A = this chain, B = another copy of it.
């Protein structure tokens, strides 16, 4: 995971935070602490994890932690923001070659399932963040949804998908990926990802009806 890049992105977005690193070396240290927090929260859970568990995993002194983060809740918030940047950057790279929105949906879903399988702490940290402060969880999905909505609006404009309430669609599609990931990437890998993607691609291309489009009603 390239947390350093995301620390830079956050800075470029005019959102440096009180402990934003001023040097490349500082950015690397901050990224190492974030990665350690991800592993520690993912393994022990947020409530049981202490800052000393994080600094030990990162191989830094406690004082170094406080150079970058005010405390446990702040690092959780930064971590979720950072994980969100990473998921979105990863998915964006995976769908860059898609010819149209439907192909992008297929590539995006496959990439998401694979990503989640390789980064299971994403869910655990996200879900637990709800109970620390629901806005952390909500911000994650609202940021995700904002980019997604732009893509669907573009696709509508280009005539790649039918007109409709794209915001509602975005929440439906995020929920779909979320549960498919939970069930088939985290709980049990008993259905090949290709079959999952094919099933959803068929839904997007033909709906659930036998002959695809409903007769004029």
Interfacial residues, chain A to chain B (CB-CB below 8 A) = 45, 47, 101-102, 105, 127-128, 130-131, 138, 141, 159-162, 164-165, 167-169, 171-180, 182-184, 187, 191, 195-196, 198-200, 202-214
- Shortest C-beta distance, A148 to chain B (Å), equals 12
How far is A210 from B47 in the complex, measured between Cα atoms in Å? 49
How far is A203 from B208 in the complex, measured between Cα atoms in Å? 8
B191 touches A172 (CB 8 A): no
Count identical subunits in the complex.
2
- Minimal Cβ-Cβ distance residue in B for A211: B213
Contacts A45-B131, A131-B131, A200-B168 given: A161-B191 contact, CB under 8 Å?
Answer: no
Which chain B residues border A167 with CB–CB below 8 Å? 191
B130 touches A165 (CB 8 A): no
How far is A204 from B213 in the complex, measured between Cα atoms in Å? 9
> Among B45, B168, B195, B200, which residue has its beta carbon within 8 angstroms of that of A172?
B200
How far is A184 from B170 in the complex, measured between Cα atoms in Å? 12
A206 touches B214 (CB 8 A): yes
In the A-B complex, the 3 residue pairs with the closest CB atoms:
A212-B213, A175-B179, A175-B175
B175 touches A177 (CB 8 A): yes
> Among B175, B180, B207, which residue has its beta carbon within 8 angstroms of that of A212?
B207
How far is A191 from B199 in the complex, measured between Cα atoms in Å? 29
How far is A141 from B159 in the complex, measured between Cα atoms in Å? 37
B180 touches A168 (CB 8 A): yes
> Among B47, B172, B198, which residue has its beta carbon within 8 angstroms of that of A179?
B172
Which chain B residues border A211 with CB–CB below 8 Å? 213
